[in-house]
């Protein structure tokens, strides 16, 4: 899992509440990513950021928000507008130097909303 931490590992929330998932990296990577994993669907990109104070929507951004105020941190907020928030959430980071395109992943946060 490298130098990427996600907290907490398990998170439980009631429907209608916003919740923020933490992602911190000490790898000095420029780019950071948030993915959602559901059984049988692989990983789907929620948001990504290549530099501080800038981020782009991924394939399934609706109902989520992010910020990138520091290079090391890329928190994800799951809002009450997300219709099916229960899932395993993975944060990743990468450097952007040519040839070094692999992403490194954190251990994940399993969110359960009831």
Partner 1 sequence: AQSVAQPEDQVNVAEGNPLTVKCTYSVSGNPYLFWYVQYPNRGLQFLLKYITGDNLVKGSYGFEAEFNKSQTSFHLKKPSALVSDSALYFCAVRGVYNQGGKLNFGQGTELSVKP
By C-alpha distance, which of 85, 75, 2, 78 is closest to 37? 85
Positions that interact with partner 1 (CB under 8 A):
1, 4, 6, 31, 33, 35, 40-43, 45, 48, 50, 56, 58, 88, 90, 92, 94, 96, 99, 101-108, 110
CB of 17 or CB of 107, closer to partner 1: 107
Q: Of 1 and 69, which CB lies nearer to partner 1 in the complex structure?
A: 1
Residue 82 and residue 29: Cα distance in Å, rounded?
A: 29
Cα(1)–Cα(91) distance, integer angstroms: 10
Identity of the residue, 47 or 113, whose beta carbon is nearer to partner 1 in the bound complex: 47
């Amino acid at each position: 899992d490298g130098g990427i931490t996600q907290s907490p590992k398990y998170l439980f929330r009631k429907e209608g509440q916003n919740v923020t998932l933490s992602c911190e990296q000490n790898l000095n990577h420029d780019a950071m990513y948030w993915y959602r994993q559901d059984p049988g669907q692989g990983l789907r990109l929620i948001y990504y950021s290549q530099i501080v104070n800038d981020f782009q929507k991924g394939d399934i951004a609706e109902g989520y928000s992010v910020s990138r105020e520091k290079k090391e941190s890329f928190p994800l907020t799951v809002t009450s507008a997300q219709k099916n928030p229960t899932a395993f959430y993975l944060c990743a980071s990468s450097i952007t130097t040519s040839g070094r395109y692999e992403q490194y992943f954190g251990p994940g946060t399993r969110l359960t909303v009831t």
